[in-house]
Amino acid sequence: MLSFILPFIVLILVVVFIHEYGHYYFAKKYGVGVTDFSIGFGRELIGWNDKSGTRWKICWIPLGGYVKFFGDRNVFSQADQEELLKKYNKEDQEKLFVTKPLYQRSLIVAGGPIANFVLAIFIFLFIYMFAGKDFTPAVIDEVQKDSPAEVAGMQKNDVILEIDNNKVESILDVSKLILMSTSEVVDFKIFRYDQEVLLKVKPKIVAGVDNLGNKINKRIVGIKLSPYNNEINHKRLGPANALIESVKEVYFVTTSSLKYMGSMLTGSGDSSQLGGPIRIAKISGQVAEFGILPFISMMAYISISLGLINLFPIPLLDGGHLMFYAFEKVLGKPLSQKTQEGFFRIGMFLLLTLMFFATFNDLKDLGLF
């Protein structure tokens, strides 16, 4: 159990710290006073004050964090700005979040998700520059009899070029792209006898386990792959190419995640794969056993997920505040406190529902249901 908990805590501390530091960075940049920078919730374990008066602390529930601004009493403070200003002198008013222009408030709020995406790009950049990236072409070595691939017309020695319009840069991309596809039918572009061929394959959904032994629903097409000419093409990239590949990976994970979430909303996606803290803790511990590179790769993917989820237009999340600012831009004034309270109740219900569903899947994964 300890082998799961320690990697999970390290992962969460780093990803949450970067997220909250994004808020902190833009707040300080625009002169907003910051009273608290907390990693975790609940009772403080350790903490200290810096020269500007910010209390940096780590609390005993390491499942998130927050940055508290000077004079920010509650989430509706933007709606009662005039009442708030009466309580502070001219100098202190300059440090209030609510007095800042709309674009500055928006950047401060968006700073957390932005920082998460930057962290992921930096991690992939480091990996591609120092460990390298695989570019081995994916060649079909065997097509299983009566499999979806055989029905679709795939043949031995076909080279897979694209899956669902995503370029296959490596033999490692094939299983990832098939697994992350949300379509009932997967589009393959293959290279055969000096020409490109488009094939549509309807995968079988079978219960199985991943490389870590966790239960998943696999999408099987029935092919075995081998390196092109049996040669592995794994190479380190220069800074420019590594940056390009890093941005492409973050973009791919982001768009694939959005498609997956969209498929769950429409009822066509596999909601059993949605997990919460328990599953993340379990997988982080398993991945950590394979070494530092797989672990920091997982950290990058978790960082992308945290940044993306926080951009959803749900009150209580960063995206909810950005939604309110969009209304403020259109209406020329903040939404009333009563209206915001209504949105926040809806947001709380949605978040609690999501947490309950994810936790139920976690417990089911552990065999408790």
Angstrom distance (rounded) from CA 316 to CA 335:
15
Nearest to 13 by CA among 57, 55, 69: 57
Question: What Cα–Cα distance (Å) separates residue 176 from each residue in 163, 169, 172, 352?
Answer: 10, 12, 7, 30
Strand segments, DSSP code E, in the chain are: 34-49, 55-69, 133-134, 138-143, 159-163, 166-167, 186-192, 195-201, 204-209, 215-220, 223-227, 234-235
Q: Across the strands, what pairs with 208? A: 216
31: which residues sit within 8 A by CB, 6+ positions away?
Answer: 94, 95, 100
Tokens 């379990």, residue? 282
84's enclosing H/E stretch is: helix 81-85
Question: What Cα–Cα distance (Å) separates residue 291 from each residue in 133, 202, 233, 288, 369?
Answer: 17, 36, 22, 5, 32
Q: Which of 20, 150, 162, 231 is catalytic?
A: 20
Residue 20 annotated in active site: yes
Radius of gyration of the chain (CA): 24
Q: Cα 153 vs. chain centroid, distance in angstroms? A: 36
HSE-CB of 305 using CA atoms within 13 angstroms: 16
Token pair listed for 77 = 């403070």
Q: Across the strands, what pairs with 47? A: 57
Q: Which SS3 state, helix, strand or coil, does residue 299 take?
A: helix
- The percent of the chain in helix, strand and coil, each rounded to the nearest 5, is 50, 20, 25
Token pair listed for 100 = 């800042």
Token pair listed for 135 = 């570019």
Angstrom distance (rounded) from CA 251 to CA 4:
29
Angstrom distance (rounded) from CA 130 to CA 132:
6
Q: Which residues are catalytic?
A: 20
